[in-house]
Structure 1
Amino acid sequence: MNESLISEYKDTITSRGLTYHYLSLPAVGDKPTLLFVHGFPSTSYDWYHQINYFSERGFGVVAPDMLGYGGTSKPTDASSFLRTAIAQDLLDILDAEKVQKVVAVGHDWGSTVISFLSIKHSDRFLGFAWATVPYDVPAGPFPGIDIILELQTKTYGRPLLGYWKFFEQERAPLIIEKNLESFISVLYSDDPDDWLTLMNQPGEIQAFVESGKTTKRARYLTKDHHSHLLASLRKGGLTSPLNWYQAVLKGVNDHIMDEIPEENRLIRKPAFFAVAKKDHVCIYEYAVPQMEKYAKGGLKMVEFQGGHWVQLEEPETFNRELEGWIRDTLQQSC
């Protein structure tokens, strides 16, 4: 990230008493503001290509360290990770910045948060952009990870979320913290196909990390970015970040859709979706039909040939396509 932007970070306390650390850059003229929402196990730094690109072109930027990461609060209680509450946290940040014309852009768990911004607060946004992880909401109480893995195997011929069996363990944070470089090498592996084993199959990532092995680090993960990741997670630990998973496993989000009619779950604003052909967790075969089912306000879908981290792996294409969608689809609103 451009070092001059570090001084533009600030802190705010949300309506539920949590501190969020975030980057805020004002828009120029009538340009909208982009709200960048990262996922696991990152910080707002994961958006540095987008922050540099869009701010240089006059777009406003709000990029928070999400709950559990960086300079933001790190609750150890999974109940703090209720998705609707986190969505409200982001609105509190936008209110603190007095930002009105906003496009929400999410990746990984950040995508699930903007899904709830779309459901509950669509009127606050010009449009929504999902990167690799599609629009997705709980269909009901979480049935348990073993049942999910069994259903995935029947549907897709293999489990997809095998790594959740590791993340659900009470000792997972300590194991990861002791073998952090090994863990990061898996999540940011140079070969997306490493995930077919290490992430999809139960037991594989735990055995790999506990042994201290490493994959070849992704070429898109620069030395500075890699150092930032390690330093941030070493300082804050993994207990709070893993609560993004624990909140699902413990049923924190089981009933948040109970009072929302099916017709109100549709995406009514324009939608952008960057789908990765080699994301072996958020797979193409699931993601594309999901977006086509719910996106009723217009959908632009762009295919990428790489893995999960499209905004890092192919930033030029991602930025160009996202900017083009904003210009062509949202220009009347902007």
Structure 2
Amino acid sequence: MNESLVSKYKDIITSRGLTYHYLSVPAVDDKPTLFFVHGFPSISYDWYHQINYFSEKGFGVVAPDMLGYGGTSKPTDISLFLHTAIAQDLLDILDAEKVQKAIAVGHDWGTRIVSVLSMKHSDRFLGFAWVVVAYQIYTPLPPIDVILEMNIKTFGRPLLGYWKFFEQESAAQIIEKNLESLISVLYPDDPDSWLTLMNQPGEIQAFIASGKTTKRAGYLTDEHHSRLLESLRKGGLASPLNWYKSTIGSVNSRIMEDIPEENQFIKKPAFFAVARKDHVCVYDYAVPQMKQYATGGLHLVEFQGGHWVQLEEPETFNRELHCWIRDTLQQNC
């Protein structure tokens, strides 16, 4: 990230009393503001390619450390990870920055919050972008073993085997002892390693508990790796893992009850970057899901790599996102 942007970080106490640490760069003239929402196990720095690119072109940029990460509060109370409440936290940030209209861009768990923003607060946004993980409708989830059986029936293999590890009480302690192992799994040089380590139950737990590492991806630079490692060492994993536990449990199971059916569709323009080699957020599910719900228009961009397309192919990603903003939202740019 450009050194001049480091001083642009701020802190806010949201309406429910949580501290959020976030980067804010004001827009120039009438350019829109991009609101970048990261996932697991990231920090706002994960968007540094996009922050540099769009801020240099006069776009506003807001990028928070999400709940559980970086300089933001790290609660262990699972109930605080209600996604509608987290969405309101983010609106509190936009209100503090006097941003009335933004473009929300989410990756990984950040896409869940972008989905909530689309369903409940669409009027505050010009458009929405999902990176790798598709738009999500909330439904009560069955036990993880049932989900894995459903994966096998639909896709011929389990997809979420790693959830069985992340939901365990011992997971945070095991990972904290072997952070390098976790990072090497999640940012791998070979995305096909997820076919075993992420998809198959028991594999990631055994791998991390033994302290093994796989070759780290080249797109995870030494600087980025150091920042990520420092953040996780300082804050631990107990709070970040609540993103999984709050979804596997009942915390987020009733979100749809107060959302009218017509609001379950994406009414604003939508951008979707899909990855052919993301073996968890699979193409064959993600694309039909987006096409079903994106009634306000969908721009789909296909990447051949894995889960971290904004890091792996930043030039292409930034160009495609920029072109979508220019062409689809031209009247607001």
Superposition TM-score, scaled by structure 2 size: 0.99
2:42 maps to what in 1? 42
Q: Give 1:211 shift.
A: 1.1
2:80 maps to what in 1? 80
Separation in structure 2 between the aligned mates of residue 225 and residue 109 of structure 1, nearest angstrom = 19
Separation in structure 1 between the aligned mates of residue 29 and residue 152 of structure 2, nearest angstrom = 51
Q: Tell me the alpha carbon deviations over residues 241-288 of structure 1, each in whole angstroms, 9 at most, x when there is no partner.
A: 000001012210011101223222000000000000000000000000
Q: Which portions of structure 1, spanning 4 or more consecutive aligned residues, are displaced by more than 6 angstroms?
A: none
Separation in structure 1 between the aligned mates of residue 3 and residue 227 of structure 2, nearest angstrom = 13
Alignment of 1:129-278 (within 5 A): 129-139=129-139, 141-278=140-277
Separation in structure 2 between the aligned mates of residue 275 and residue 330 of structure 1, nearest angstrom = 21
Separation in structure 2 between the aligned mates of residue 205 and residue 307 of structure 1, nearest angstrom = 18
Q: Give 1:21 shift.
A: 0.1
Separation in structure 2 between the aligned mates of residue 27 and residue 261 of structure 1, nearest angstrom = 33
Alignment of 1:314-325 (within 5 A): 314-325=313-324
Q: Tell me the alpha carbon deviations over residues 283-332 of structure 1, each in whole angstroms, 9 at most, x when there is no partner.
A: 00000000000000000000000000000000000000000000000011
Separation in structure 1 between the aligned mates of residue 314 and residue 325 of structure 2, nearest angstrom = 16
Q: Give 1:133 shift.
A: 0.4
| Secondary structure in 2 matching 1:286 | helix
Separation in structure 2 between the aligned mates of residue 78 and residue 144 of structure 1, nearest angstrom = 18
Counterpart code for 1:220: Y
Separation in structure 1 between the aligned mates of residue 111 and residue 121 of structure 2, nearest angstrom = 15
Separation in structure 2 between the aligned mates of residue 102 and residue 218 of structure 1, nearest angstrom = 32
Separation in structure 1 between the aligned mates of residue 249 and residue 290 of structure 2, nearest angstrom = 27
Task: State yes or no: 1:288 paired with 2:293.
Answer: no
| Secondary structure in 2 matching 1:162 | coil
Separation in structure 2 between the aligned mates of residue 136 and residue 157 of structure 1, nearest angstrom = 22
Q: Tell me the alpha carbon deviations over residues 74-113 of structure 1, each in whole angstroms, 9 at most, x when there is no partner.
A: 0001110000000000000000000123100000000010
Alignment of 1:85-164 (within 5 A): 85-139=85-139, 141-164=140-163
Counterpart code for 2:215: K
Q: Which runs of 5+ in 2 are unaligned?
A: none
2:51 maps to what in 1? 51
Q: Which runs of 5+ in 1 are unaligned?
A: none
1:32 maps to what in 2? 32
Separation in structure 2 between the aligned mates of residue 62 and residue 193 of structure 1, nearest angstrom = 33
Counterpart code for 1:22: Y
| Secondary structure in 1 matching 2:258 | coil
Counterpart code for 2:293: Y
Separation in structure 2 between the aligned mates of residue 333 and residue 123 of structure 1, nearest angstrom = 14
Counterpart code for 2:279: H
| Secondary structure in 1 matching 2:106 | strand
| Secondary structure in 2 matching 1:332 | helix
| Secondary structure in 1 matching 2:168 | coil
Percent identical residues: 79
Separation in structure 2 between the aligned mates of residue 64 and residue 264 of structure 1, nearest angstrom = 26
Counterpart code for 1:157: G
Counterpart code for 1:278: K
Q: Tell me the alpha carbon deviations over residues 188-220 of structure 1, each in whole angstroms, 9 at most, x when there is no partner.
A: 001000000000000000000111111111010
Superposition TM-score, scaled by structure 1 size: 0.99
Q: Give 1:137 shift.
A: 2.0
| Secondary structure in 1 matching 2:255 | coil
| Secondary structure in 1 matching 2:237 | coil
Separation in structure 1 between the aligned mates of residue 143 and residue 77 of structure 2, nearest angstrom = 19
Separation in structure 2 between the aligned mates of residue 187 and residue 260 of structure 1, nearest angstrom = 34
Separation in structure 2 between the aligned mates of residue 97 and residue 330 of structure 1, nearest angstrom = 22
Give the conservation status (yes or no) of the 8 Å contact 2:30–2:332. Answer: no
1:22 maps to what in 2? 22
2:62 maps to what in 1? 62
Give the conservation status (yes or no) of the 8 Å contact 2:141–2:248. Answer: yes
| Secondary structure in 1 matching 2:121 | helix
2:331 maps to what in 1? 332
Aligned length: 333
Counterpart code for 1:72: T
Give the conservation status (yes or no) of the 8 Å contact 2:120–2:259. Answer: no
2:10 maps to what in 1? 10
Separation in structure 1 between the aligned mates of residue 22 and residue 263 of structure 2, nearest angstrom = 30
Separation in structure 2 between the aligned mates of residue 292 and residue 34 of structure 1, nearest angstrom = 23
Q: Give 1:4 shift.
A: 1.8
Separation in structure 1 between the aligned mates of residue 304 and residue 248 of structure 2, nearest angstrom = 31
